[in-house]
Amino acid sequence: MTPHQLARYERIQACIEPGYYLVRESDKKRFFISTYVDSYAFENLAEDVLSDEVGYEYWIDYSYGKDVKGNPAWDNLDHQDKFLV
Protein backbone atom coordinates (compact mmCIF):
# COMPACT_ATOMS: atom_id res chain seq x y z
CA MET A 1 0.00 0.00 0.00
CA THR A 2 1.39 3.39 -0.95
CA PRO A 3 1.60 6.19 1.63
CA HIS A 4 -1.29 7.98 -0.14
CA GLN A 5 -3.45 4.83 -0.04
CA LEU A 6 -2.59 4.25 3.61
CA ALA A 7 -3.49 7.84 4.53
CA ARG A 8 -6.84 7.52 2.71
CA TYR A 9 -7.54 4.20 4.44
CA GLU A 10 -6.88 5.82 7.82
CA ARG A 11 -9.19 8.75 6.97
CA ILE A 12 -11.94 6.29 6.00
CA GLN A 13 -11.51 4.34 9.25
CA ALA A 14 -11.76 7.61 11.20
CA CYS A 15 -14.84 8.61 9.13
CA ILE A 16 -13.17 11.84 8.01
CA GLU A 17 -12.71 10.96 4.33
CA PRO A 18 -15.20 13.13 2.43
CA GLY A 19 -17.89 10.99 0.82
CA TYR A 20 -20.96 8.87 1.38
CA TYR A 21 -21.28 6.38 4.25
CA LEU A 22 -23.86 3.69 4.88
CA VAL A 23 -25.03 3.95 8.51
CA ARG A 24 -26.35 0.65 9.82
CA GLU A 25 -29.38 1.38 12.02
CA SER A 26 -28.86 -1.53 14.46
CA ASP A 27 -25.50 -0.31 15.78
CA LYS A 28 -25.02 3.09 14.08
CA LYS A 29 -21.76 1.83 12.56
CA ARG A 30 -20.62 3.74 9.46
CA PHE A 31 -19.22 2.13 6.32
CA PHE A 32 -17.60 4.13 3.51
CA ILE A 33 -19.43 3.76 0.18
CA SER A 34 -17.66 6.15 -2.17
CA THR A 35 -16.52 9.72 -2.68
CA TYR A 36 -19.21 10.33 -5.29
CA VAL A 37 -22.61 8.70 -5.85
CA ASP A 38 -21.84 5.14 -6.99
CA SER A 39 -24.80 2.74 -6.97
CA TYR A 40 -22.59 -0.25 -7.80
CA ALA A 41 -20.31 0.42 -4.79
CA PHE A 42 -23.38 0.87 -2.59
CA GLU A 43 -24.92 -2.44 -3.69
CA ASN A 44 -21.66 -4.33 -3.08
CA LEU A 45 -21.22 -2.78 0.36
CA ALA A 46 -24.85 -3.37 1.37
CA GLU A 47 -24.51 -7.07 0.52
CA ASP A 48 -21.49 -7.27 2.83
CA VAL A 49 -22.71 -5.31 5.86
CA LEU A 50 -26.49 -5.86 5.98
CA SER A 51 -27.92 -9.24 6.92
CA ASP A 52 -30.60 -11.06 8.89
CA GLU A 53 -28.25 -11.05 11.88
CA VAL A 54 -27.62 -7.26 12.02
CA GLY A 55 -30.68 -6.10 10.13
CA TYR A 56 -31.39 -4.38 6.85
CA GLU A 57 -32.26 -0.93 8.15
CA TYR A 58 -29.80 1.78 7.12
CA TRP A 59 -29.47 5.35 5.95
CA ILE A 60 -26.80 7.12 3.93
CA ASP A 61 -24.92 10.07 5.39
CA TYR A 62 -22.35 12.39 3.83
CA SER A 63 -19.05 13.35 5.44
CA TYR A 64 -17.49 16.71 4.64
CA GLY A 65 -14.25 15.63 6.31
CA LYS A 66 -13.18 17.53 9.42
CA ASP A 67 -14.69 20.67 10.87
CA VAL A 68 -12.53 23.58 12.09
CA LYS A 69 -11.96 21.79 15.42
CA GLY A 70 -10.83 18.57 13.74
CA ASN A 71 -14.02 16.62 14.42
CA PRO A 72 -15.85 14.65 11.71
CA ALA A 73 -18.36 16.92 9.94
CA TRP A 74 -21.55 15.12 8.89
CA ASP A 75 -24.45 16.28 6.76
CA ASN A 76 -26.93 14.27 8.91
CA LEU A 77 -29.42 14.00 6.05
CA ASP A 78 -30.49 10.76 4.41
CA HIS A 79 -29.07 10.51 0.88
CA GLN A 80 -30.67 7.17 -0.08
CA ASP A 81 -32.56 8.71 -2.99
CA LYS A 82 -29.27 9.56 -4.73
CA PHE A 83 -28.29 5.88 -4.82
CA LEU A 84 -31.56 4.45 -6.11
CA VAL A 85 -31.56 3.51 -9.77
pLDDT at position 85 is 64
Confidence of residue 1 (pLDDT cuts 50, 70, 90): confident
The H-assigned helical ranges of the chain are 3-13, 39-49, 80-83
15 falls in which pLDDT band (50, 70, 90)? Answer: confident
- Which candidate, 58, 17, 13, places its Cα nearest to that of 36? 17
Report how many domains make up the chain: 1
**Cβ 58 vs Cβ 50: under 8 Å:** yes
The pTM (predicted TM-score) of the whole model is 0.90
Please tell me the number of Cα atoms within 13 Å of 73 on its side-chain side.
Answer: 8
Structural domain span for residue 45 = 3-83
Contact 21/12 with Cβ under 8 angstroms?
no
**Cα(23)–Cα(60) distance, rounded to whole angstroms?**
6
Question: Model confidence over 20-59: pLDDT tens digits?
Answer: 999 999 999 999 999 999 999 999 999 999 999 999 999 9
